[in-house]
Amino acid sequence: MKIKIAFRSSILSNPIEYLKGVGPMRADMLKKELQIFTFEDLLFYFPLKHLDKTQIHTIATITPAMDFVQVRGRLISMEVVGEKRGRRLVAHLRDASGIIELTWFQGINWVQKMLLVGNDYVAFGRLSFFLGKPQLSHPEIESLKESNESGKNFLEPIYSVTEKLKARGLNGRALGKLMYQLFLVLEEKEITENIPLNILQHQGMCSRWNALRQIHFPKNHLHYEEALIRLKFEELFISQLRWGMMRSARHRYSRGILFSKVGTHFNDFFHQHLPFPLTGAQKRVLKEIRQDMGSGIQMNRLLQGDVGSGKTIVALMTMLIALDNGCQACIMAPTEILAGQH
């Protein structure tokens, strides 16, 4: 979903290398791999998904149906097991309901220095089960005190990145950190509202600023849905507005052929050869089409209906009106088989 409207603010036109944490090398990769050249480009690079960090699960309630989980408890053991490629750090975290195993295959020395048996921690990671017991492999982990201070009770954005970016250390989470830096320097006044206030109020939608903030960093699923609905509506609203302006301009400046009469081709077919009576909807649509064709303005119309609802007969009778006015007409089909059927 791309919704890019020019902003008055100059900050969004800043080159991406001027954002804290980017620099020339990362900027070059972002430009080549994701077409992110400016702050504005980054702002409109929406998350692929969010990881739910709003809930703390008790260990006993964890089920195989869960993908990612967050648990809180006391570290009761930690040891390095295995050798060479099988070497890993295994720890166990306990809460009031049970015990979960935490495993690291890389960065073992760093994790060992960071953790202390007997302290309380919050761990978040992808869930798996081994012999019926829950495990987290390479979980994010921080002390309970740090977790409370950082207030990480949100939906964490994960962004789609290329393999080249991952190789340079710029994965989906790292891009989220850059987005966080962007919102530290971005202010509400710099985001121009592009939908009239009365329409927003009538639809019960949030402001553009809130939508952009919540699509990246929603506090909960409800806020994310509100942002998504607002941005989808904005895309549709602007698209329809653009089409309306084009249609209005075409009516003013692009004159069409005047199909002023309905003659023998149409009438003979309708009264003598039509194998079945038209439905009320078909008659109504034909009347609207005849009015368009008799206006002298180019017609731009989509006829929509289910399979077998009678769209082709309406198209045929429209072609007969063109013949009655001394013009030619053709009907096109997307495949050779359909063309033969017509």
- Any domain includes 232: no
- Any domain includes 14: no
- Any domain includes 143: yes
Residue 9 has a pLDDT of: 47
DSSP β-ladder status, 133-137 and 99-104: parallel
* Mean per-residue pLDDT, 324-328: 92
DSSP structural state of residue 118: T
Residue ranges making up the domain that contains 325? 264-341
Handedness of CA 313, 317, 318, 323 (dihedral sign): positive
Please tell me the total count of domains within the chain.
2
Find out whether 92 and 76 touch, Cβ atoms under 8 Å: yes
Question: Which of these ranges, 38-47, 108-117, 248-257, 285-294, has the smallest mean pLDDT?
Answer: 248-257
Question: Which of these ranges, 119-123, 221-225, 246-250, has the smallest mean pLDDT?
Answer: 246-250
CA distance 258 to 325: 8
Q: Retrieve residue 157's tokens.
A: 């954005």
Residue 234 has a pLDDT of: 95
Tell me the β-bridge partners of 91.
78, 102
Percent of the chain residues past pLDDT 70, beyond the cut: 95
* Mean per-residue pLDDT, 131-136: 90
- The closest alpha carbon to 158, from 172, 168, 169, 171, belongs to 172
Residue 289 has a pLDDT of: 92
Q: What is the mean pLDDT of the chain?
A: 88
Query: 172-194 pLDDT, tens per residue?
Result: 888 999 999 999 999 998 999 99
Neighbours of 59 (CB within 10 A): 19
* Mean per-residue pLDDT, 205-232: 94
Q: Is the pLDDT of residue 7 over 50?
A: no
- Any domain includes 168: no
Residue 93 has a pLDDT of: 95
- Any domain includes 47: no
Highest mean pLDDT among 44-53, 171-180, 206-215, 333-342: 206-215
- Terminal CA-CA length for the chain: 37
- Any domain includes 62: yes
Of the three residues 153, 188, 207, the one that is the final residue of a domain is: 153
Q: Retrieve residue 110's tokens.
A: 């760093």
| Of 84 and 138, more confident | 138
Of the three residues 153, 174, 199, the one that is the final residue of a domain is: 153
- Any domain includes 297: yes
Residue 256 has a pLDDT of: 81
- The closest alpha carbon to 258, from 293, 231, 282, 210, belongs to 293
Q: Is the pLDDT of residue 4 over 70?
A: no
* Mean per-residue pLDDT, 73-79: 94
Residue 151 has a pLDDT of: 53
Instruction: List, in sequence order, every beta strand (DSSP E) within the chain.
Output: 49-52, 68-81, 88-94, 99-104, 120-130, 133-137, 140-143, 155-158
Of the three residues 153, 183, 216, the one that is the final residue of a domain is: 153
Query: Can you give the CATH number for the domain in which 123 is found?
Result: 2.40.50.140
pTM, entire model: 0.68
- Any domain includes 312: yes
Helices then strands, each counted (H, E), the chain: 13, 8
| Confidence category of residue 128, pLDDT binned at 50, 70, 90 | very high
Q: Retrieve residue 60's tokens.
A: 């006993």
* Mean per-residue pLDDT, 30-50: 95
